[in-house]
């Protein structure tokens, strides 16, 4: 009985807070907008256009996804968060390939050694993969998909 009562009261609150904060942190990616302009005007290599566009998309949707994770229940906020982090990881991996293969000038935001930029992108991808793992874990999956019966 004791183990049953503990598992019944176990809350995914800490995971929800951490995943929400990670989603909210992505708002800063809106700062990639000048990279889009520079890529279109020829200042930066054209290869940076798609990663910068994805950064802006992720940054613009970050607040809505974070609020959905924090306050929402149901299929929409759960799947939105999963798609959001999957797109973000895809964008980071695309940026890694651009860093390693692009011959043109890099954006000022990506200045520094390519290894440092790649390390930063890989670390962010790993954090987002952890968020995906947390979202698909039984506790959070049940939290979002159990409906109102759990209340």
Residue 114 has a pLDDT of: 87
- Taking residues 15-21, what's their average pLDDT? 96
User: Percent of the chain, pLDDT > 70?
Assistant: 90
Higher pLDDT, 149 or 42: 42
In a domain, 4, yes or no: no
Does 3 reside within a domain? no
| Residues 83-141 pLDDT 10s | 999 999 999 999 999 999 988 777 887 777 888 999 999 999 999 999 999 999 999 99
pLDDT value, residue 11: 73
What confidence score (pLDDT) does residue 10 get? 63
pLDDT number for residue 81? 97
The model's pTM is: 0.86
Q: Quick one: tokens of 105?
A: 């000038």
Q: Is residue 110 part of a domain?
A: yes
Range of the domain at 99: 9-150
* C-alpha separations of 39 from 7, 104, 107 in Å: 53, 10, 9
Domain count, the chain: 1
Q: Is the dihedral of CA 61, 64, 69, 72 positive or negative?
A: negative
Cβ neighbourhood burial of 130 (10 Å; 0-12, 13-18, 19+): middle
In a domain, 2, yes or no: no
**How does the average pLDDT of the chain come out, rounded?**
89
CB 37 within 8 A of CB 45: no
5-14, 21-30, 35-44: which is most confident: 21-30
């Amino acid at each position: 009985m004791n183990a049953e009562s503990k598992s019944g009261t176990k809350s995914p609150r800490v995971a929800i807070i951490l995943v929400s904060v990670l989603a909210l942190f992505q708002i800063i990616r809106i700062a990639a907008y000048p990279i889009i302009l520079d890529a279109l005007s020829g200042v930066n290599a054209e290869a940076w256009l798609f990663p910068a566009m994805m950064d802006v998309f992720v940054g613009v949707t970050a607040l809505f996804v974070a609020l959905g994770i924090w306050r929402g229940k149901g299929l929409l906020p759960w799947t939105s968060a999963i798609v959001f982090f999957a797109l973000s990881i895809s964008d980071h991996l695309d940026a890694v390939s651009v860093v390693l293969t692009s011959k043109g000038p890099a954006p000022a935001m990506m200045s520094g050694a390519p290894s440092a930029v790649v390390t930063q992108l890989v670390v962010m991808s790993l954090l987002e993969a952890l968020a995906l793992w947390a979202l698909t874990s039984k506790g959070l999956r049940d939290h979002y998909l159990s409906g109102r019966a759990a209340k």
